[in-house]
């Protein structure tokens, strides 16, 4: 893990008295989101099925003198999720839930596969997981008024071949978001989602993981002039949990450098 690449959001709200539960916090976007909330002053509960990654993230956050605990969690399993939220509640409160945990491809999770098991696993983690986590966190989120941020994807509206499970799961997350927002109207809980585009997680991966090698052409595909970084997503999550976004619920914030809006013609 190259700590020199750990760019954080430039603007941090004051979350000094808050508690945030971040799923999929063991590496990548989730690790950056967790560190960003901790840097904003929150007590962060890190949840991940990967215990090595989760403990690395915990050491990173505590190594900066910030507050965090790690709870090994399988977000697709109801009892595991209930244990996570119970641990969070015992810490005093739950103010924010960021549903980031996801798997991109559990084997051959596509229409050409001989088995539907891989498809079911992706849906279980990526879509059932946010539902279970939201359901279990709602009683605590109601107490002080809180926010749920689901991490969807631009893959909800665009695809590469053989990505049926992932695309379907992320489309489901976007729909789940506005459904939850309506079910929780007037509860004091706001629900939104962030749809990342191409995000380079170099520096935020587990120890030993290989970083990406990006070309100038990769950056030029984006109207913003560069590939995204995890801090771009963390900034969106922080804002959606802050009072500055108090009039925003049921929204899908696309953070992709404009890539899904760019028309590309080939000759």
- pLDDT tens-digit readout, 36-50: 999 999 999 999 999
**Looking at the chain, which runs of residues are DSSP E strands?**
19-23, 43-48, 68-72, 96-99, 147-151, 190-196, 252-255
Residue 151 pLDDT: 98
Q: Name, of 6-10, 25-29, 215-219, 261-265, the range with top average pLDDT.
A: 25-29
Q: Spell out the domains of the chain, with CATH numbers in brackets.
A: 3-261 (3.40.50.720)
Degrees (nearest 5) of the Cα angle 214, 215, 218? Answer: 85
Model pLDDT, residue 106: 63
Measured N-to-C along each axis, helices 78-90 and 129-144 cross at an angle, to the nearest 10 degrees, of: 20
Helix ranges (H only) for 67-155 are 78-90, 117-123, 129-144
Query: Mean pLDDT, to the nearest integer, of 87-115?
Result: 90
Cα 210-213-214 angle, rounded to 5 deg: 145
Which of 8-12, 21-25, 53-57 comes out lowest in average pLDDT?
A: 8-12
How confident is the model at residue 4, as a pLDDT? 44
Whether pLDDT at 1 is above 50: no
Q: According to the model, what pLDDT value does residue 243 have?
A: 97
Average per-residue pLDDT for the chain = 93
Out of 50-54, 77-81, 204-208, 252-256, which region has the weakest mean confidence (pLDDT)?
204-208
Tell whether the model's pLDDT for residue 225 goes beyond 90: no
List the structure tokens of 230: 């995890």
Q: E strands, 91-211, where?
A: 96-99, 147-151, 190-196
Q: How many CA atoms lie within 13 A of 108 on its CB side?
A: 6
Yes or no: say if 207 and 3 are a contact pair by the CB < 8 Å rule.
Answer: no
Nearest-angstrom CA–CA distance, 177 and 181: 6
pLDDT for residue 65 is more than 50: yes
Question: 84 and 76 in contact (C-beta within 8 Å)?
Answer: no
- Tokens 């899904």: give the residue: 260
SS3 49: coil
So what's the pLDDT on residue 25? 98
Residue 157 in 3-state DSSP?
Answer: coil
Q: Which residue has the higher pLDDT, 10 or 35?
A: 35
What is the pTM assigned to this prediction? 0.94
pLDDT of residue 267: 58
Q: Across residues 112-121, what is the average pLDDT?
A: 91
Q: How far apart are CA 42 and CA 238, in angstroms?
A: 11
Tokens at residue 82, please? 């209930």
Active-site choice (15, 131, 166, 204): 166
Is pLDDT above 80 for 35? yes
- Residue 265 among the catalytic residues: no
Name the pairing type of β-strands 43-48 and 252-255. unpaired
Contact at 8 Å (CB) between 139 and 88?
A: no
- Tell me: pLDDT of 3 over 70: no
């Amino acid at each position: 893990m190259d700590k020199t690449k750990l760019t954080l959001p430039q603007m941090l709200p004051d979350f000094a008295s808050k508690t945030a539960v971040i799923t999929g916090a063991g590496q990548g976007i989730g690790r950056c989101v967790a560190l960003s909330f901790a840097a904003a002053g929150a007590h962060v509960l890190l949840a991940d099925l990967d215990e090595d990654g989760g403990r690395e993230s915990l050491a990173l956050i505590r190594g900066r003198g910030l507050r965090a605990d790690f709870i090994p969690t399988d977000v697709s399993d109801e009892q595991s999720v209930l244990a996570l939220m119970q641990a969070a509640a015992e810490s005093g409160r739950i103010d924010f839930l960021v549903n980031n945990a996801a798997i991109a491809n559990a084997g051959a999770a596509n229409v050409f596969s001989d088995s539907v098991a891989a498809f079911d696993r992706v849906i279980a983690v990526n879509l059932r997981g946010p539902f279970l986590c939201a359901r279990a966190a709602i009683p605590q989120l109601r107490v002080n008024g809180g926010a749920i941020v689901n991490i969807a994807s631009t893959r909800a509206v665009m695809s590469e071949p053989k990505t049926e499970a992932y695309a379907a799961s992320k489309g489901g997350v976007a729909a789940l978001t506005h459904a939850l927002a309506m079910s929780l109207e007037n509860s004091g809980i706001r629900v939104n989602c962030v749809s990342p585009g191409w995000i380079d997680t170099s520096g935020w991966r587990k120890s030993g993981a290989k970083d990406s090698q990006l070309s100038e052409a990769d950056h030029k595909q984006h109207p913003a002039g560069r590939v995204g970084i995890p801090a771009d997503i963390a900034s969106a999550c922080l804002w959606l949990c802050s009072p500055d976004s108090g009039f925003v619920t049921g929204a899908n914030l696309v953070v992709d450098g404009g890539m899904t809006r760019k028309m590309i013609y080939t000759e």
